[in-house]
Amino acid sequence: MKFHQTPLQGAVLIESKKIGDARGYFARTFCAETFAAEGLETVFPQHNASASAWAGTIRGLHFQHPPHGEIKVIRATRGAIYDVIVDIRPRSATFGQWAGFELSEENGHMLYVPEGFAHGFQTLRPDTAVVYPVSRPYTPEAEGGLRFDDPVLAIDWPLPVTEVSDKDRSWANFDPEGAGPA
């Protein structure tokens, strides 16, 4: 695995090395020893999966309020996504900034999302599947989110939006003066 720092403090793009032969390929997607050597979380007691039927589907932008913040490692296992993270840590040098990354079945890239980030993605192809281990079990009362179409963030989604849940449409806009969601 190769680890690349992103423009957002603490977020890491991870390249997995595919070893191929006539059968297909093998790739390591996690190694506690390697993650620890990079200073990354190694304990993920919950693993999540999502599937989306349509290209252009948006999921997010989600986060968990402290002290229930989560670290996630996002990977597309089928299809492709445009994965977006927003730094909502008021004391961070990259507070209020967002970045997007293409994660696909073909490129095998993963995104390490630290605590204190809102996270979401848009599917780039139909029939896309995503998996992600999480560092803490989900806590419903700590759930938070930001609008995917927030004018302050001005996220440049690559496709027209085709599907968004009512819940994700109802999140507040980001309020940088209030140090987080409005």
Report which secondary-structure segment, H or E, holds 169.
helix 166-169
**Do the beta carbons of residue 110 and residue 16 sit within 8 Å?**
yes
The residues carrying an active-site annotation are 62, 132
pTM of the predicted protein model = 0.94
The Cα 5–Cα 94 span in angstroms is 13
Q: Which domains does the chain have, with CATH numbers?
A: 2-174 (2.60.120.10)
Instruction: Give pLDDT, residue 81.
Output: 98
C-alpha torsion angle, residues 52, 56, 60, 61 (rounded to 10): 160
pLDDT at residue 22, rounded to an integer: 96
pLDDT of residue 176: 83
Per-residue pLDDT at 82:
98
Profile the chain (182 residues) by mean pLDDT over runs of 10 residues.
Answer: 96 94 93 97 97 97 96 98 97 96 97 97 98 97 96 97 97 80 54
Within 13 A of 97's CA, how many CA atoms are on the CB side? 12
Give the DSSP letter of residue 168.
H
**Per-residue model confidence (pLDDT) at position 178:** 66
E runs forming strands in the chain: 2-5, 12-15, 18-21, 24-27, 46-52, 58-64, 72-78, 80-87, 98-104, 110-113, 117-123, 128-134, 143-145, 174-175, 180-181
Q: Are 146 and 118 in contact (CB under 8 A)?
A: yes
**Length of the chain counted residue by residue:** 182
